[in-house]
Structure 1
Amino acid sequence: MNGAVVTVGAELLAGRTADTNATWLCRQLHDRGVTVERVTTVPDRVGDIARVVNEYRAEYDAVVVTGGLGPTHDDVTMAGIAAAFGRSLERSDEALTWLTEEGGYTREELTTGTADLPRGARPLHNEVGVAPGAVVESVYVLPGVPQEMKTMFELVADEFTGQPLFREVVVADEPESALVGRLEELRAEFDVTVGSYPGDGVRISIESADEDLTEAAAAWVRERVEEHDSEPPS
């Protein structure tokens, strides 16, 4: 299974807010064996949201969209999703009923448009906030508030499946340029994905769908590099 993540918000593009949602989602999807191939941030504009979502839903098995949910003037994500599918925005009786019966709100407390979703969407109830999310075919729409997004993702986490990957990290106490030849040998010797990341030492990340192969490749590296004495990050 492959996928894409789309985050919505002018505050992200202006650098006023760090896009922690994309990082968290990528980690969750990766841990479930989903290959994330695109992460894109778009402004709060219906046309931009619709264009990117329409492109990605045709190309990938799943698209996760976060941000811009709610009834205020700049919360236009649901309208963008509706436009991507050529559907109208309609009040979801299921979402409204949940908000009043389970969410603890009265209808008078809810701003007009709070429960508006693309026609035919499956509502995702917001257990720690107000604005509902939705699933439209292969597109999952979640809130931008991190805790709301994380809680809502758990409602659909089991729908993201793929081949789990095993990962080993070796931290080398050598310059990255000095490791090039050995990393080329590693790739030739083992059918694994290899990445190298300089920092406090050079983190050599080794991944594959075969746990034994991954461990063997990591052992091969450890025999051939000078290891850094710090613990590698997860």
Structure 2
Amino acid sequence: MEVALITVGDELLAGDTVNTNANWLAAELSDRGVAVTRILSVPDDRAVVAEHVGAYADAFDAVIVTGGIGGTPDDVTMEAVADAFDRDLAPTDLTREAVERRLAEIRERIPDSDVDVDVEAEAAIPTGSRPLLNDPGLAPGCVIEGVYVMPGIPEELRAMFESVADEFAGDRRSRFLYTVEPESDIVPALEAAGERFDVAVGCYPDREAEHNRLKVTATDERALDEATAWLLANVDASETPVHRDWGDE
């Protein structure tokens, strides 16, 4: 299963907000064996969002779009997704009831709050889409033709993703090895392992931990086992983190 992530928000492109959602989603999906092959950040521009949603929906098994849903002027994601599939926006009974219930909870918790929300607009999703309720928040998400639309607020995103997490599964598996050998010294072995066992091998230096982390990825469990064993035999590596011994230098 190949998935693309689209994170929406001017604040991401300006560097005002760290894109923790993309990092979290990529890790969650990878843990489920899913290949995340694109991560794209786009501005709060309805036409731009619609263009990329439509293109990615055709190219990938699923697309997760985060951010830009709600009632502020720059929240254009839901409209853009509707545009991408030539749909109208309309609330469903389920999303309307969820928004009304959440507003009632807010008013009960904060009696003096002046909450003025257009329920019909807040609850609107593309016609024909499947609603995704936002238990910690207000604006619902949805699923339409393999595109999952979710909030940008991390707490809300994570809760909503958990409600559909079982819909994401793949056969990619990874193993990690650790070595203090210089990266340049182990390149031939990494290339040989990749070619010999048809696996992907990455090397990621960790300056703070003072080791290189090797990641071996494959869709075939046997190939993964054999490649890992071969690397352990041909590289001074360990399956547990190691640190460089500076005692003799």
**TM-score by structure 2 length?**
0.85
Where 1:98 maps in the other structure, the secondary structure is helix
Please give the per-residue CA displacement for 1:163-194, whole angstroms capped at 9, x wherever unaligned: 2x332211121221111111122123322211
Cα deviation code 1:80-101 (max 9, x no counterpart): 1111111112233320112334
Tell me how far 1:222 sits from its aligned partner.
1.9
Instruction: Map 1:54-69 onto structure 2 (within 5 A).
Output: 54-69=54-69
* Cα distance in 2 for residues equivalent to 1:36 and 1:110: 39
Alignment of 1:14-53 (within 5 A): 14-53=14-53
Q: Which amino acid aligns with 2:94?
A: E
3-state SS, counterpart of residue 153 of structure 1: helix
Q: Which moved more, 1:99-108 or 1:212-221?
A: 99-108
Query: Cα 1:3–1:135, aligned 2, differ >3 Å: closer, same or farther?
Result: same
**Pick aligned residue for 1:188 from 190, 195, 216:** 195
1:111 — aligned with what? 117
* Residue identity opposite 1:158 in structure 2: D
Q: Which runs of 5+ in 2 are unaligned?
A: 108-113, 243-249
- Of the structure 1 ranges 58-67 and 195-204, higher mean CA displacement relative to structure 2 is found in 195-204
Residue 131 of structure 1 deviates from its aligned partner by 1.0
The AA in structure 2 aligned to 1:176 is: E
- Please state how far the C-alpha of 1:196 moved relative to its aligned partner: 1.1
Residues 117, 105 of structure 1: CA spacing in aligned structure 2 closer, same or farther, 3 A cutoff? farther
- One-letter code aligned to 1:225: V
* SS of residue in 2 equivalent to 1:127: coil
Matched with 2:247 is none
Quick one: which amino acid aligns to residue 37 of structure 1?
Answer: T
Q: Which moved more, 1:8-17 or 1:115-124?
A: 115-124
What residue is the counterpart of 2:173 in the other structure?
166
CA RMSD of aligned residues (A): 2.2
Partner of 1:147: 155
> Does the CA contact (< 8 Å) of 2:102 and 2:138 recur in 1?
no
- CA deviation after TM superposition for structure 1 residue 33, in Å: 2.3
Confirm or deny: 8 A CA contact 2:174 2:218 kept in the other structure: yes
Name the % identity.
43
SS at match of 2:71: coil
- The 1-side partners of 2:39 and 2:220 are apart by 27
> 1:46/1:102 Cα in 2 relative to 1: closer, same or farther (>3 Å)?
closer
Tell me the TM-score normalised to structure 1 length: 0.90
Q: Deviations over 1:200-220 (max 9, x none)?
A: 322111122333432332222
Structure 1 stretch 108-117 or stretch 40-49: which is displaced more? 108-117
Task: Note closer, same or farther for the CA distance 1:135–1:125 as it changes in structure 2 (3 Å cut).
Answer: same
Task: Provide the residue aligned with 1:86 in structure 2.
Answer: 86
Segment of structure 1 superposing worse, 57-66 or 91-100: 91-100
Aligned length in residues: 231
Q: Tell me which amino acid in the other structure corresponds to 1:160.
A: F
> Is the 8 Å Cα contact of residues 100 and 106 (structure 1) preserved in structure 2?
no
Supply the distance in 2 between the matched residues of 1:47 and 1:189 (Cα, whole angstroms): 46
For residues 14-60 of structure 1, what are the alpha-carbon distances to aligned partners after superposition, in whole Å with 9 as ceiling and x for unaligned?
Answer: 11111110111111222222221111000001001000001000111
Provide the rounded CA distance (Å) in 2 between the counterparts of 1:173 and 1:106: 54
Corresponding residue for 2:110?
none
**Structure number, greater radius of gyration:** 2
d(CA) in 2 for partners of 1:225, 1:33? 26
- Stretches of structure 1 that go unaligned for 5 or more consecutive residues are none
Alignment of 1:220 with 2:220, yes or no, is no
